[in-house]
Amino acid sequence: MIGRIFLLGDDIDTDQLAPGQYMRGGIEAIAAHCLEAARPDFAPSVQPGDIVVAGRNFGAGSSREQAAEALRHLQVAGVVALSFAGIFYRNAVNLGLPVLIAPSIDGVVDGDLATLDADGGVLQLTAKGIALPLDPMPENLRAIIQAGGLVPYLKKRFAADDKGPSQ
């Protein structure tokens, strides 16, 4: 699926991804204001399959997983960044949002058309014919993403155990 790249800078924080004043609402309200302070055009124009590319420390700040959930709700194909904040990275995996570390994002321009191969670890800039290599995700995390997130992953595990913890 070909999508459009939204190119963002360093330290994109969770207050931008999931603004506090909408946190008492549901994910639709939060997603409608996702990145409003940094990129007011993002939430209104993002399409399913679009890709977020960013600099260092994407997802800095809060543990609110609505930051990752909002991007999932908007059906972005994934986030490619030079690095991620630790809690955001874990949240994204747990919600089934592909998050991939790029050793370099040189050559990526906002609005570029691209495809993201999360399993193969490649961001293909289709119009430019450039293939950006991405670091492969650790195997234990890929298993969670492939299951669709932690909840479906745990369901499978409990079914396999044949006995979930009971209370």
Partner 1 sequence: MRQTLAQKIIARAAGRDHVTPGDVVTARVDLAMIHDSGGPRRVAPILQDLGVGLWDKDKIVLVADHFVPGDTEEGAAILAMTRDWARRTGVRFHDGLGICHVVLPESGQLRPGMFAVGGDSHSPTGGAMGAFMFGIGATEMAGVLATGEIWVKVPETILIEWTGRLGDGLMAKDIMLALCGRLGMDGGKYQAVEYTGEAIRALSMQERMTLSNMAAELGGQTGLVAPDDVTAAFLHSVGGSVPDLSDLHSDEGASVLEHHIFDATTLAPQVAAPHSPANAMPADAAGKTAINVAYVGACTGAKYEDLQAAARILKGRKLAAGVDLLVAPSSKRDQDRAEADGIMSIFEAVGAKILPNACGICAGYGTYRLGADVTCISSTARNFKGRMGEASSQVWLGSPLTVAAAAVAGHIIDPREMLA
Give me the residues that bind partner 1 (CB under 8 A), please. Answer: 11, 13-16, 19-21, 23-25, 36-38, 56-57, 60-65, 68, 83, 85-87, 89-91, 94-95, 138, 140, 149-151, 154-155, 158, 164-167
Compute the least distance from the CB of residue 102 to partner 1, in Å.
Answer: 15
In the sheet with 122-125, reading across from the earlier edge strand, the strands are 99-101, 78-81, 51-54, 3-7, 113-117, 122-125, 130-133
Compute the least distance from the CB of residue 125 to partner 1, in Å.
Answer: 26
Compute the least distance from the CB of residue 129 to partner 1, in Å.
Answer: 32
- For partner 1, the closer CB: 11 or 117: 11
Assigned token pair, 103: 């050793």
- For partner 1, the closer CB: 36 or 117: 36
CA distance 64 to 53: 21
- For partner 1, the closer CB: 93 or 114: 93
- Alpha-carbon distance values, 33 to 41, 60, 75, 106, 156 (Å): 10, 18, 15, 28, 34
- For partner 1, the closer CB: 38 or 109: 38
With 0-12 / 13-18 / 19 or more C-beta atoms within 10 angstroms meaning exposed / middle / buried, residue 99 is: buried
32 Cβ contact list (under 8 Å, min separation 6): 22, 43
Compute the least distance from the CB of residue 88 to partner 1, in Å.
Answer: 8
Compute the least distance from the CB of residue 42 to partner 1, in Å.
Answer: 14
